[in-house]
Amino acid sequence: MKIKFHVVVTLCLLAVAVAVVAFAARSSRGQSSRASVKPAVRVTGSGAAKPSAFTAAAGQNAVLRNELNWTFGGKQQRGWYLYDLLIGKTLDTNDDALTADFAEEVAAWQKKRGLRADGVLDEDALMALVSQWQSARLKNRAPAQPDQLVTAPPSDFYDPGRSAELRQVERNAYSAYKEMLAAAAADLKLAPSSKYLKIVSSYRSRDYQDQLRAKSPNSGRAGLAVNSPHFTGRALDIYVGGSPVDTKDSNRAIQVNTPAYKWLVRNAERFGFRPYFYEPWHWEYVK
């Protein structure tokens, strides 16, 4: 009798477990955010649904875009959706990251880079993109000499109350920034009072960087560098929305969708500025 009771209980638990697993599988499929709201694979281009060799790759990209696990700067990262724009710029495509056309562009780029050209933006492909972006950054990190620095007016800054000492910028980077800002303000119809694209932080002395590091000791290797490009006076943190310099994914998701950031990705290179992919606000004058 007792044994029979145990069997019944065990069967019941088993049934519950199966139901829970089935439900979880269904809801996790439903949760994959944008990927599930949009159809997983969209066919673009000439209208009629053309079967593409890259349809399956697009399906995998729809998942990896939100869920790929990778590490950067000693921190666990999830997905590559924050980098849609930079990826599109590097692949020279405007195709939506969930399309077969995009997967085809990925494959063409993979082939050029000597990677397996399957159109799937997996960890290997992403790390190759990251190293391409990182290698395009400022090479000469010699600290600025005092005569290379100019002091920008308070009105150029996100916080106009910043002290003169914290408003210094390397001379050439500053004039390039002013040209870029004028072009952006015209294109984006920015009001003079707009905070967008104002400078949050520019030249930092070694002492000042040490103070910042002491204040946030957990910023990690991807955050406040020991040998910061800000020492050169050629790195600018520029306001692109959200909380100005917060690396939380939720904050960066806001930043990468502002017109200001989108404009920078499309245009900053023309003025000599290149991005640090991980910090949407950080731009380096590389000329």
Residues that bind Zn ion (CB under 5 A): 237, 282
Distance of closest approach, residue 184 Cβ to Zn ion, in angstroms: 18
Distance of closest approach, residue 188 Cβ to Zn ion, in angstroms: 22
Q: CB-wise, 107 or 169, nearer to Zn ion?
A: 169
The alpha carbon torsion through 178, 180, 181, 187 (nearest 10 deg) reads: 150
R_g (Cα) of the chain, nearest Å: 24
Distance separating alpha carbons of residues 39 and 66, to the nearest angstrom: 15
Distance of closest approach, residue 235 Cβ to Zn ion, in angstroms: 5
Q: CB-wise, 122 or 237, nearer to Zn ion?
A: 237
Distance of closest approach, residue 82 Cβ to Zn ion, in angstroms: 17
Burial of 30 (0-12, 13-18, 19+ CB in 10 A): exposed
Q: Residue 222: phi, psi to the nearest 5?
A: -75, -15
Both tokens assigned to 128: 């190759």
Please state, in angstroms and as integers, the Cα–Cα distance from residue 240 to each residue in 22, 64, 252, 275, following that order: 42, 26, 10, 12
Q: CB-wise, 119 or 275, nearer to Zn ion?
A: 275
Q: CB-wise, 55 or 172, nearer to Zn ion?
A: 172
Q: CB-wise, 65 or 230, nearer to Zn ion?
A: 230
Both tokens assigned to 229: 């490009």
Distance of closest approach, residue 227 Cβ to Zn ion, in angstroms: 13
Distance of closest approach, residue 282 Cβ to Zn ion, in angstroms: 4
Distance of closest approach, residue 269 Cβ to Zn ion, in angstroms: 18
- Do the beta carbons of residue 70 and residue 77 sit within 8 Å? yes
Q: CB-wise, 88 or 280, nearer to Zn ion?
A: 280
Distance separating alpha carbons of residues 84 and 61, to the nearest angstrom: 11
**Residues 6 or more apart in contact with residue 161 via CB below 8 angstroms:** 154
What string of DSSP letters covers 262-283?
A: HHHHHHGGGGTEEEETTEEEEE
Which residue type does 125 have? A
Q: CB-wise, 32 or 209, nearer to Zn ion?
A: 209
Distance of closest approach, residue 22 Cβ to Zn ion, in angstroms: 48
Q: Residue 58: phi, psi to the nearest 5?
A: -65, -40
Q: CB-wise, 63 or 222, nearer to Zn ion?
A: 222
